[in-house]
Amino acid sequence: MTIRFDNRVAIVTGAGGGLGRAYALELARRGAKLVVNDLGGARDGSGESDAAERVADEIRAAGGEAIANGASVTNFEQVTAMVEEARARFGGVHVLINNAGILRDKSFANMSVEDFRLVVDVHLVGSANCTKAVWAGMREQGYGRILMTASSTGLFGNFGQANYGAAKAGLMGLTKTLYLEGAKYGIRVNTLAPTAGTRMTEDLMPPEMFQAFSPENVVPAALFLVSEDAPTNAIVGAGAGVVAASYVTLTPGVAFPPDRRTPEAVAEAWERIVDRTGEAVPKSGAEQGMMAVAQLQKLMANAGKT
């Protein structure tokens, strides 16, 4: 079965180059109408250019439909106007790929509060702004596909990227709530952690690796995650043609009786607490509490037998 996006309207933020451009071009090739969004700034978010218009021109030259938009994802009024323009021009919004981002890497000791806030504002708040702007319309039409762009830094950490990692981990948390809230309205929300050679990473990779991790090698995973038959609440890593799944898990844990609820008891039981045998993937935050209750009930039942 060929995945198509005919009669679908997609907004891709940060689509003036790199991953966003690759997503936009392939969505258009597969029938989607595109809103190509890009402020056009440098890697650190400064400056402006006509990058979005150039990509929209590419799409139109190939026979597709696209409009360019220069809204800053950090400005909710601008983002709302972008969504309204998409609805007026194309009739709705069915797909949103939150891809816009900047880097201001420094060790936490040398990072300014301004640099921390700005990166979080662009990645996390910017994605929330765009998602909020399309959310009501997706609920009304009973269909929506939203992709958050996380990172291995948000999943596993990376030296010198405290701001970036915090923002990316926040996006995974946003996904895990929105997939629950959107389920009955036909809205599916997923998280992609791409590894790609773009202007964001060109001086972080050797040339041969930079080529292997071309943005085009991430596109298949991204487009699947916004397709009609997409899963929801998935965390997917993609790069160099490899696609993998990541999970937030919870070990069974150890239940302590009332007279053993001390830091010393936790220290003594630590190896059992972190033992991953029988770990679970909760479908919501409430399941952590439910698992704790189950452990306590087991403890009480065993105490009653002695």
Q: Which residues are catalytic?
A: 164
Edge-to-edge strands of the sheet including 242-246?
66-69, 33-37, 9-12, 95-98, 144-149, 187-194, 235-239, 242-246
Q: What one-letter code names the amino acid at 55?
A: V
Tokens of 87: 């609805």
Q: Which residue has the tokens 């998280």?
A: 191
Task: Name the region of 246 (left: φ>0; alpha: ψ -120 to 50; beta: rest).
Answer: beta
Beta bridge partners of 143: none
Using CA atoms, how far apart are residues 167 and 111, in angstroms rounded to an integer? Answer: 15
First-residue to last-residue Cα distance in the chain? 60
Report CA-CA distances (Å) from 124 to 170, 237, 283.
6, 18, 22
Parallel/antiparallel/unpaired status of strands 66-69 and 33-37: parallel
Q: DSSP assignment, residue 111?
A: -
Whether the Cβ atoms of residue 200 and residue 101 lie closer than 8 Å to each other: yes
Dist. CA 237–CA 172, nearest whole Å? 12
